[in-house]
Chains A and B, each alone.
Chain A
């Protein structure tokens, strides 16, 4: 974990010392309170996750014991082995690895589709002029307000009518574009100087070439943000998969874990171990690439 003191974006504005001459005792009191609050919040925010991680190494008896233990009395990997094999399909193959694979296939395909389609649309909104652009853009932003559940029934009916329910396509096709991601990329593309397009045009480059060869390479950080946020979004998706994927062999890990909980409601140790397969990859991705996540929050709205 990056505990070294970095001059993060937050540190760029050099908070000037209001009192350069010596520090009053009140400064130290204030700082102590600040750190106390920060540590308390860390315990509240992270405590449950750390306890769950530790719990995934305990026996079910120990997970349910009162008073609760902090570290496992004996570190066991059995839970991980059990959850991997616990639910076999009729042919005797375990569902669990299949769920992880399904989650990965869905996330990866949607990321690839969105990288292309969202960047095309963002490029058009930011750098091309066409009649009605403002209206289309406003319509796109307004769709972000429509609750997913409201659209769920027609989505199910439409996809069912074309026979795509219970296939990967049921999630991939509607997921190929995202208003939020197009908005984020539009914001980013607007920040690139417009002269570049002019220069490319004068050199005889077509619009697609300009997009592909000049603008996209400059947008790598924004594209990385999109890839990470979308991957995480699909990896964690629940409602759409719950409705549109109906047999256990098609479940992604989220729906699978809900299913697992239904079967093994009282085996908390198994459920916790299963949960770690969903969480730990996302936490690792986030820790490695955290700067892109912050950028995502910044571009999507705050700097709007």
Chain B
């Protein structure tokens, strides 16, 4: 950030000097963000924390009731089911979408015909709304759907039987189906991050390595991965934050079912707050979700991150 203090030759300025004007203008220009975030972000965070200790249902005057909501959350088996589902989903999806994005970026980062075609067409899922993706995949995942048709054509010889992916409770396929869906729709976006970063790796590093006899896989793990570490960290953090908030697909495709196999923390918060009008209880869960995300961020920062200087 601009380190050199500019005591520029000040032309005829009446009253204030340039530094003061600059500072005041700076605050003025940033003020829309400051005002809105004081209300809708920082104020809201404090408000959630406060409400989580009250008995707010929908519009009643909140009364403080101590830790009651948190005790209720801790004793609610559905909450722990949701935490389990959410964490499993987050770990699996974050891992595979990062790995797939990285591999695809490497595959695409070569002299290829029709490279632009692949880049553009792969990005189409990313410009599509989660609602439409959900609506399309309800149809794809149904028992007489295209996925089952493709799988039984390809793997019929293994005895594969069509399964109602989103509704068969005994097969436990609903959560894996949502994982597959999310991996295949977000990996292309993250691939763009990696693709941009790959172009910043100097070619001579690879040349030097190949003179030393490094080939294919060892080039990938010894050079590409370490060089991309900051981006991998960014993608993992963004992926974790995103996956821990799974809601749209659940709300539209499964409504948490079958038998709560796809109930996520976010879905539970939404249902408590805006279906059952149990808002204070939802606030307690919301605050716990925030703590969970923050804790995971610290862990990831510890293992993957390196403080980038001068952010």
Contacts and interface: CB of A to CB of B under 8 A. Distances in A.
A6 interface: yes
B120 to A, nearest CB: 5
A105 B3 CA distance: 42
A194 B273 CA distance: 49
Nearest to B104: A41
Interface string A173-192: 11011010010000000000
Contacts of B245: 147-149
B22 A128 contact: yes
A66 B149 contact: yes
A57 interface: no
B293 A304 contact: no
Contacts of B29: 120-121, 123-124, 128, 211
Contacts of A250: none
Given A10-B109, A45-B184, A48-B146, A208 B1 contact: no
A156 B45 CA distance: 13
B253 to A, nearest CB: 10
Contacts of A174: 36, 40
B25 interface: yes
A3 B44 CA distance: 48
A38 B40 contact: no
Interface residues of B, number: 109
Contact of A121 (B33, B41, B244): B33
Interface in A247-304: 254-255, 257-258, 261, 268, 271-272, 274-275, 278-279, 282-283, 285-287, 290, 293-294, 297-298, 301-304
B114 A194 contact: no
A256 B109 CA distance: 40
Which secondary structure dominates chain B's binding surface? helix
Interface centre among B25, B33, B234 (most CB of A within 10 A): B33
B80 interface: no
Contact of A279 (B114, B132, B207, B297): B132
Nearest to A51: B146
A18 B207 contact: yes
Given A10-B199, A208-B25, A282-B128, A151 B45 contact: yes
B38 to A, nearest CB: 10
Contacts of B193: 297, 301-302
B67 interface: no
B136 A275 contact: yes
A149 B287 CA distance: 10
B30 to A, nearest CB: 5
A63 B139 contact: yes
Interface string B106-125: 01111111111111111111
Contacts of B140: 48, 51
B161 interface: no
Interface stretch (B70-78, B167-175, B278-286): B278-286
Interface in A111-157: 117, 120-121, 123-125, 127-131, 133-134, 136, 138-141, 143, 145-157
B293 A145 contact: yes
B124 A201 contact: no
Contact of A207 (B25, B40, B132): B25
Given A42-B118, A51-B146, A286 B130 contact: no
Contacts of B234: 301-302
Interface in B135-150: 135-140, 144-146, 149
B36 A198 contact: no
Interface string B153-195: 0000000000000000000000000000000110011001101
A23 interface: no
B95 interface: no
Contact of B121 (A42, A121, A145): A42
Given A150-B290, A301-B193, A46 B139 contact: no
A287 B120 CA distance: 7
A153 B51 contact: yes
Contact of A45 (B42, B109, B122): B122
B136 A48 contact: yes
A207 B120 contact: no
A5 B9 contact: no
A20 interface: no
B131 A207 contact: no
B33 A140 contact: yes
Nearest to A295: B196
Contacts of B149: 66-68
Interface string A226-261: 000000100111110011000000000011011001
Given A117-B33, A278-B131, 8 more contacts: A2-B116, A10-B195, A46-B122, A130-B24, A147-B244, A152-B269, A238-B248, A294-B196
* List of 7 A-B pairs having minimum Cβ-Cβ separation, nearest first: A236-B129, A130-B26, A124-B29, A154-B44, A130-B23, A128-B26, A154-B47
Interface of B: 1-2, 5-6, 8-9, 11, 18-19, 21-27, 29-30, 32-34, 36-37, 39-45, 47-48, 51, 59, 104, 107-125, 127-132, 135-140, 144-146, 149, 184-185, 188-189, 192-193, 195-197, 199, 203, 207, 210, 231, 234, 241, 244-245, 247-248, 251-252, 266, 269-270, 273-274, 279, 282-283, 286-287, 289-290, 293-294, 297, 308, 311
